[in-house]
Structures are given as C-alpha cells and as structure tokens.
Amino acid sequence: MKYDRLLVPEGKTIRLKDYDPAYTGKFAAKEDAAGKLQSDIVKLAALQDVLYAQNTYALLLIFQAMDAAGKDGVVKHVMSGVNPAGCQVVNFKIPSAEELSHDYLWRSMKQVPARGHIGIFNRSYYEEVLVVRVHPEILRNQKIPPSLVGKDIWKERFEQINAYERYLTRNGTVILKFFLNVSNKEQKRRFLERIDTPEKNWKFSSADVRERAFWKDYMKAYEDIFSNTSTPWAPWHIIPADRKWFTRTAAADIIVRTLESLNLKYPAADPEHLKGLKDARTALEEGDSST
C-alpha cells in the first residue's frame, strides 16, 4: 500500500481543502486496517533495535495538529512496541522565561534525538510560524530587536527552519513531519465528548475552545508551512485524522517505510572484537570446569 498522496510535494502551493480529513485509503473500517497496523508495530520494534545497535542515524518525528486531532494517541499506539530506552517524547509548550531569552530554535536543539534513538516532538519549532503568527502579541514578547522583525519574518523563518533541518539531516538525523488533519466538525465532536465523558474531562481545556475561533487563521498558517517547508530532506505528510485508526495506520506505515529505506544492518564485529568474544568464551568455560 502506498500513501504517497499524503506526502506534501516540494515547492507547491498547498490548499487544505484538497485534503479530506475523513480519507481512509483502501480500508473501509477499523477492522480492515488492524492487521496492517499490528504488523507495522512489530516491524517498527525490530527496526528500532537495529537503529539502536547501528548507532549512526537518529530518527526525528515531528507531530503538529489542532487540539484533539489525536497526537497523543498516535504516539501511544504507533510507538507501543518500541524499547522506551531508545525513544524520547518531547512536548513543546509555551516557552519558559529562559527559553524566551534565546533564539527560537535554541530549546529544540538539545532535544534532538541522539544517534540510534527515535525522538518524537509533540508540537515543535513549527509553533513559531503557527501560534506565533496567529497571535502577533506572542511575537512582540520574544524580545527580538524591532529592526529585525519585518514583513518578511515568516519567509525568513521558513528559510531558517529549512536550513536547520538540512543541517540535521546532513548530520544523520532523519526527519519526518506529520500534520494530523482533523476537521473542524470532528474537533467539535471530540470536545463535546470530553465534556460529556467523566473519564475524558481531564483532557478538556477551555483554552482549546477559544483557539477554535482562530481556526481559519491556523489553517492559512499551516498551508503556508506546507507550501514552504516540505523538502526532500524533511517532508511533510498530511495525515487524515477524522478516523483515529486510519491516522495511526498511515503514520506507522510511513515511519516503517522510511526506516526500511535506510537499509540498517547490525554492525559486524571487527576481528579484534571477535577474538575478544572467543577469549571470553574460553575463559567462561574454563572457569566452569574449575568449580
């Protein structure tokens, strides 16, 4: 199965109305996709093991979405088989005072996954061309010298982000970016469900409802992000998110196919290491016979 149509082409003007949030590919229902998701989760666990052993590449997965689109669910399900020791999730929230005293990429740099690891950014520096764009007062709070904040600020940030991602990928960090595309109607339904279900009350925030008022501005900002920052080295995928089971299946498929394309191999032991193994075996066996 190919999800190439979810991949955002480079340098094309993207309109979200061309992307159906309820699309489910060749699957009619959750049950049809369950086997595929399960087998990808198993594959992902095996691939992560080699990634870790090889210790050269890192994988950075970036998730962006409107509230209640299912970011947490994707992370939880898709990564359910991986070894937690080689996987870190970082949630990017409103910047702290210390973070605001630095340039906007500063806080991401130290969270980028180490070689051999999978790093998940739950939100990311893309908030800097998103929520910061939708709410200009946030930009005013960033203490940037006013002479450096011109009308091209967003274009400049896209350039900076593309260059930053180029830098990371050229140093061995593979980057995949996912936008979970939930519809306005489905978001409303999920908010109402959070209000009406006691076990889901904790997920509800009235701030999220206030952000709904800016839906159109967010969509415009996202479209500009996709039109300017989907690159061969760090592509965006627009994942339909009205059916949670499909979101998870599609994301798992893309992650598995990307890791497979790296042709990862367990490192072969060099002659010296092999001799060490042989000597250790002899020592262990001799130790046993003397007891």
User: Is residue 89 close enough to count as binding ligand ATP by CB under 6 A?
Assistant: no
User: Is residue 127 close enough to count as binding Mg ion by CB under 5 A?
Assistant: no
Question: 103: which residues sit within 8 A by CB, 6+ positions away?
Answer: none
Considering only the stretches 59-67, 95-103, 159-167, 178-186, report the one whose residues sit in contact with Mg ion under the rule CB under 5 A.
59-67
User: Is residue 209 close enough to count as binding ligand ATP by CB under 6 A?
Assistant: no
Considering only the stretches 63-71, 127-135, 189-197, 222-230, report the one whose residues sit in contact with Mg ion under the rule CB under 5 A.
63-71
Among 48, 108, 118, 127, binds ligand ATP (CB under 6 A): 127
- Interface pattern 215-244 for ligand ATP (x via CB under 6 A): ------------------------------
Distance CA 115, CA 73 (A): 25
- What is the closest distance, in whole angstroms, from the C-beta atom of residue 20 to ligand ATP in the complex? 24
- What is the closest distance, in whole angstroms, from the C-beta atom of residue 211 to ligand ATP in the complex? 7
Contact in structure between 238 and 19 (CB atoms under 8 Å): yes
Distance CA 282, CA 26 (A): 57
User: Is residue 138 close enough to count as binding ligand ATP by CB under 6 A?
Assistant: yes
Considering only the stretches 13-21, 87-95, 170-178, 259-267, report the one whose residues sit in contact with ligand ATP under the rule CB under 6 A.
87-95
Cα angle vertex 167, ends 225, 71, to 5°? 45
Dihedral over Cα of 74, 80, 86, 92: its sign: positive
Among 23, 37, 64, 67, binds Mg ion (CB under 5 A): 67
Cα angle vertex 259, ends 63, 80, to 5°? 60
Among 67, 165, 224, 242, binds ligand ATP (CB under 6 A): 67
Query: If 0-12 CB within 10 Å is exposed, 13-18 middle and 19+ buried, where does residue 131 land?
Result: middle
How many residues bind ligand ATP (CB under 6 A)? The answer is 15
Question: What 3-state class would DSSP assign to 229?
Answer: helix
**73, 74, 75, 79 alpha-carbon torsion, rounded to 10°:** 120
- What is the closest distance, in whole angstroms, from the C-beta atom of residue 208 to ligand ATP in the complex? 7
Question: 213: which residues sit within 8 A by CB, 6+ positions away?
Answer: none
Binding site for ligand ATP (CB under 6 A): 67, 72, 91-95, 122-123, 127-128, 131-132, 138, 205
Q: Summarize as ranges the residues that interact with Mg ion (CB under 5 A).
A: 67
